[in-house]
Amino acid sequence: MYAAVCVAATLMIPGCDHASLMIRRDGAYSTAAVSDSVAHEIDKLELALGIGPCLDAIEQQSAQMESDLTVGTRWPDLAARVVAQTPVRAAMSVRLPVDRAKVGALNLFSDTPDAFDDTSVERALILAAFATVATIATAHGEDAAALRRGLVTNRTIGKAIGVLMVLNNVSDDDAFDILRQTSQDTNVKVADIASDIIRRSSGQQPQRGVHS
């Protein structure tokens, strides 16, 4: 399941050439899956140095992006090694959204600087939501049917978060807070709020009785 997420990232997300999924358990980090050896190498470098977009995405609980690793970055030591040892020139990491829990992150790498755009971010959030459901289901021994049911809801919420991030220029945490607060204020489920946001963004009429 995790490997499928990584491969899907390279096929679905504009600019993504390599992908990995890093998980945090009991305070320790490990790579759960990769799309290829390049992604695995970058994860090893990041874990060895203890710095990088993936670790920051998990610990700071916010998406991280470096559009060009060949110029000044927040992680110069990591960037220098990545550029020297791999073809990767840009990186983005999106945390797995499980409330405020530090669960893991989906990591995307591009061989081209400035390759990631708003669509890349939105689709990364959707895939991260899928990976979150897989992680929770695995931890609780849930069956495939339960996983699919959770995926439908989390995929919708993930897409709505992406829309809110773009429209309001806010972080994924802030976008989720908007969803949650709207749900509390209107007494409407978060998933229904998310569906309404997606319909509105695509120009469709919202369902009666649902307000964003």
Same domain membership, residue 103 and residue 33: yes
Same domain membership, residue 8 and residue 102: yes
Same domain membership, residue 82 and residue 167: no
Task: Judge whether 77 lies within some domain.
Answer: yes
At residue 36, the pLDDT reads: 95
Task: Judge whether 57 lies within some domain.
Answer: yes
Task: Judge whether 26 lies within some domain.
Answer: yes
Same domain membership, residue 160 and residue 104: no
Same domain membership, residue 96 and residue 160: no
- Read off the pTM: 0.67
- CATH number, domain with residue 25: 3.30.450.40
Same domain membership, residue 26 and residue 111: yes
Task: Judge whether 126 lies within some domain.
Answer: no
Task: Judge whether 128 lies within some domain.
Answer: no
At residue 187, the pLDDT reads: 82
Task: Judge whether 133 lies within some domain.
Answer: no
> Can you give the residue range of the structural domain that contains 86?
2-116
What are the tokens at 55?
Answer: 């670790």
Same domain membership, residue 93 and residue 182: no
Q: Are 119 and 15 in contact (CB under 8 A)?
A: no
Question: What backbone torsions phi and psi does residue 45 show, to the nearest 5 degrees?
Answer: -65, -45
**Per-residue confidence in pLDDT tens, the chain, 212 aa:** 678 888 889 988 999 999 999 998 888 999 999 999 999 999 999 999 999 999 999 888 788 999 999 998 899 999 999 999 999 999 999 988 776 678 899 999 999 999 999 889 988 988 888 787 766 655 555 444 554 555 556 667 778 877 888 888 887 667 777 877 887 788 887 778 888 888 887 765 444 334 44
Task: Judge whether 134 lies within some domain.
Answer: no
Same domain membership, residue 14 and residue 110: yes
What are the tokens at 70?
Answer: 């060949």
Same domain membership, residue 20 and residue 96: yes
Same domain membership, residue 148 and residue 81: no
Same domain membership, residue 75 and residue 26: yes
β-pair type (18-25, 90-95):
unpaired
At residue 3, the pLDDT reads: 82
Task: Judge whether 137 lies within some domain.
Answer: no
- CATH number, domain with residue 147: 1.10.10
**Domains in the chain: how many in total?**
2
Same domain membership, residue 169 and residue 97: no
- Residue the block writes with tokens 């390599």: 18
Helix, strand, coil percentages, rounded to 5, for the chain:
55, 15, 30
